[in-house]
Structure 1
Amino acid sequence: MTQNTHPRIVRNQTPPADIPHVSVVIVGAGACGLTAAIRLRDAGIDCVLLERDAVPSGSTALSSGFIPAAGTRLQKSLGLEDSQALFAQDVAAKAHGQAAPHLVQAYTRAVPQAIDTLEAHGITFEVLEGFLYPGHHAPRMHAVPERTGAALMAALERTATSAGADILTEALVRELWLDAADRVVAVGYVRPDGNIEHIACDQLLLACNGFGGNPDMVAELLPAMRDAEFGGHTGNDGSAIAWGRALGARLADLGGYQGHGSWVTPQGALMTWAAIMEGGVQINAQGRRFHDETQGYSEAAVYVLDQPGRVAWNVFDEPLLALARTFPDFVEAEKAGALRTAANEQELARLIGCDPAMLHETLTAVDAGQPDAFGRRFKRPLRAPYHAVKVTGALFHTQGGLDIDDHCRVLRQDGTALPNLLAAGGAARGVSGNEVSGYLSGNGLLSAVGGGWVAAATLIEQRRA
């Protein structure tokens, strides 16, 4: 039958008769859901992932696919000095102490276990070396060889299905059925023809989405991003928050999000921040720099949006262009016509449309030595020819959601856990605190992969209890 397609809770009603039953239903076949499914299947537990899209993708497929982890087998084999304690300190420091300590500890412990297990399943990872992302004190970004989120998603999906997980695509979950004890007993999902189908379950994991694709929620909860470009997945419609509000569950860190100050315009794509970290700068339409770019690409989104025309230019030189071209996102942006080249300062000023004297002053200040007016220290000056990419600030994904404990159990307002409802990834609060500057590079996939791993462990323990 065709029903309302808004997220809703159905209480104290008997689910339709003769519907299929599965031990665990996972809402969302993104990185979080797939990681959880792989661990569940390793434990011999049957599970079904309900995915709204025709092909699992989500926010991960739109990202670079870099998973931060300390203490993995691969990291150790490369002789890289790091520790989970240092990683946890980096996460906490970037969030200015606002990140939920119990989740920081749980996820930084879990993510290396997840990566080592995924490796054992045949997924190849590499550690990105040669530069550090903002806030990280060791090379700990793990990526598949293609260095894209789409390739990571393909590897996770292949591994999950090979392990025996079932993925039902084009299944948009809209109903959670609960009994009088707040136990989830079934879910309802909309099919492409508009009809709703149901499946019964013993346990439910919400691994679905944030709310970046819901303009009303963004305007309500993230007013600074009200008019920003949305670079995330449209499936981030806030379903988890809608269900949480209907359940009377606790919500947390709703002001936290990942912005990106390097959203290529008008092409609409991410440009790697590596070129900026290694010496590139952001220059506005007046020919001025306006922040310390090394603090992070997330808060850079707000700074860029505050500039004239809500745009800036990423400016870099030949060595940095070579570095940028090692990242597929930049290669695609260049193919789309994003890269401009200027033989000298005068040409660069004409490209930007700024006063040549002001631009000369700006570039002259980019030199090795003492910290500049923003506190940034450069290794060397930029040298002609110059390369530039026009960018704006964008919202990529949100970092707040259902409040959870360190077992990923969804919490009521009084802090007690709902009996069989878990959440992780975009559906739950992350480890970035309650504002944009708290986002440490990779926090999204830390929460997704680490959270999926922790949630699966909890589901396994609950079944054994």
Structure 2
Amino acid sequence: MTETKADVAPAPDSFDLTCETLIIGAGAGGLVAALAADEASQSVLVVEADPVPAGSTALSAGLIPAAGTSIQARVGIEDDAGRFAADIQKKAGDQNEQSLVDRLTRHSAPAIDWLSDTFGLPFSVITNFEYPGHSRKRMHGLPTRSGAELIDTLRATCETVGIDIVCERRANRLFFEDGTVKGIAVSRPDGGIETIGCEKLILACNGFGGNRMLVHQLLPDIENALWFGHDGNRGEALLWGRSIGADLAHLGSYQGHGNVAHPHGILITWAVITEGGVQVNKHGRRFWNEAQGYSEAARAVLAQPDGEAFAIFDGRIASIARQFEDFKQAEAVGAIKTSETPERLARELGLPPEAFAETMASIPVGGVDEFNREFGSEALQAPFCGVRVTGALFHTQGGLRTGDNARVIGADGSGFANLYACGGAACGVSGKADSGYLSGNGLLSAIVLGMLAGRAPLS
């Protein structure tokens, strides 16, 4: 792993270039922040370490939860920020700072409507299945339901309005004096260094999942999982925050996922489970209540023999899952097996046929099972489908504590004059561990905090 440098130093006598609003990271949070800052008539520069903006957003399903949007209203979904906030806190066991939960949920609908109405992003609500923990259908996505489409659309939108995005520039030094950010230094591919001065800095460089040392220190229970996030998430925001006295919160929180096709490394939508599917281990037996959520599923799956499991569903559920580009890719490469009987599917997957058939026969229809999971009235039926999966770490949820306008808060409770954070760089609303993650929390924090940070006035 490349060593992560996140130095803090006094400002140089002069900078190679300057701007009003400087954003580190061209993921969803950074690009939304750029659009908001540009709309506020601020000169904007986005620096991105990769050759092309992608980041964790491109690896996600690109779904953003929002409550009370005009898009929901058009399809007859009644929802509001208070209900959304209650769902978030229930999933996290009331471990989140209430003011942050309220801030994110209150601004979630305005953020989606703004991106849709002002920039023409063609969001729609997923209405044919429900995500665990959400009491309303509020997951908004673009047509292919892929994070790659979301990031490409945001990048194209920024380019259309004339926002400068400079790639292959990794920020490695923060210039900071007297409680105020003065600028940063970035490294070029040729090894050269450039300094950039700014009036406002937005940290949109995500979390620390790609920094194996920090994962070992802060997330030991998931450190051996497949890393399914972006390798560029090396924790610079956290390291800078430590150095300048920022308040850091919930550093043990993360989003896992227990349904990544193995060894193909393709995300299998959790809809295959919520619509009535189950997970079994290599012995053909179920091992937990899958309705708890996909983040908790990572540890549950990794605890099984060989750290793997098999997601089992049927043709009806597969037809729902095909709205996701990832699922279609998994089918195309042969990761998903299909057979007319449980015994044949077991042989396709390398499971003991008799034990697997017994497991399938034991799934209740319209009842509660031994794991206290409640099933609907539709039984799994031919054709039966299955895919080998493993547990993965997707992204971290702890980080810099933020206040109004996504301004970073110091350990003494005061706000830094011109430092903001969004997405994985900021503390999210997933509680203290993995079980508090509610579907879409990551992009919720990226989009809303990005919008608020971008709109924040220059100091």
Cα offset for 1:311? Answer: 0.4
Q: Per the alignment, in what secondary structure is the counterpart of residue 25 of structure 1?
A: strand
Contact in 1 for aligned 2:399/2:427 (Cα 8 Å): yes
- 1:390 alignment partner in structure 2: 388
Correspondence for 1:170 among 152, 168, 171: 168
- 2:127 alignment partner in structure 1: 129
Contact in 1 for aligned 2:349/2:387 (Cα 8 Å): no
Cα offset for 1:59? Answer: 0.5
Cα offset for 1:351? Answer: 3.7
- 1:6 alignment partner in structure 2: 5
- 1:158 alignment partner in structure 2: 156
Q: How does 1:50-129 map to 2 (within 5 A)?
A: 50-120=47-117, 121-129=119-127
Check if 1:309 corresponds to 2:281: no
**CA distance in 2 between partners of 1:134 and 1:406 (Å):** 29
Contact in 2 for aligned 1:287/1:352 (Cα 8 Å): no
Check if 1:213 corresponds to 2:214: no
Cα offset for 1:235? Answer: 0.8
Contact in 2 for aligned 1:42/1:163 (Cα 8 Å): no
**CA distance in 2 between partners of 1:366 and 1:5 (Å):** 48
Contact in 2 for aligned 1:107/1:454 (Cα 8 Å): no
Cα offset for 1:350? Answer: 2.8
Runs of 4+ displaced beyond 4 Å: none
Cα offset for 1:5? Answer: 6.6
**CA distance in 2 between partners of 1:401 and 1:5 (Å):** 17
- 2:227 alignment partner in structure 1: 230
Check if 1:294 corresponds to 2:294: no
| Residue correspondences, number | 455
**CA distance in 1 between partners of 2:94 and 2:302 (Å):** 26
Give 1:123's aligned amino acid: L
Q: Per the alignment, in what secondary structure is the counterpart of residue 142 of structure 1?
A: strand
**CA distance in 2 between partners of 1:144 and 1:208 (Å):** 23
Check if 1:192 corresponds to 2:192: no
Contact in 2 for aligned 1:5/1:190 (Cα 8 Å): no
**CA distance in 1 between partners of 2:366 and 2:121 (Å):** 43
Cα offset for 1:288? Answer: 1.1
Q: How does 1:365-384 map to 2 (within 5 A)?
A: 365-379=362-376, 380-384=378-382
TM-score (norm 2): 0.96
**CA distance in 2 between partners of 1:216 and 1:334 (Å):** 35
Distance 1:129-1:429 versus aligned 2 partners, 3 A rule: same
**CA distance in 2 between partners of 1:406 and 1:314 (Å):** 42
Give 1:442's aligned amino acid: G
Q: Per the alignment, in what secondary structure is the counterpart of residue 388 of structure 2?
A: strand
Cα offset for 1:224? Answer: 1.2
Contact in 2 for aligned 1:23/1:202 (Cα 8 Å): yes
Cα offset for 1:349? Answer: 3.1
Cα offset for 1:358? Answer: 2.6
**CA distance in 1 between partners of 2:115 and 2:350 (Å):** 49
Once superposed, what is the RMSD of the aligned Cα atoms?
A: 1.5
Cα offset for 1:72? Answer: 1.1
Contact in 2 for aligned 1:15/1:186 (Cα 8 Å): no
Question: Percent sequence identity over matched residues?
Answer: 47
Contact in 2 for aligned 1:175/1:189 (Cα 8 Å): yes
- Could you tell me which runs of 5 or more consecutive residues in structure 2 were left unpaired when the two chains were aligned: none
Cα offset for 1:18? Answer: 5.2
Give 1:41's aligned amino acid: D
- 2:406 alignment partner in structure 1: 408
Give 1:425's aligned amino acid: G
Contact in 2 for aligned 1:106/1:454 (Cα 8 Å): no
Q: Deviation per CA, 1:421-444, whole angstroms, max 9, x where unpaired?
A: 111111010010111010000000
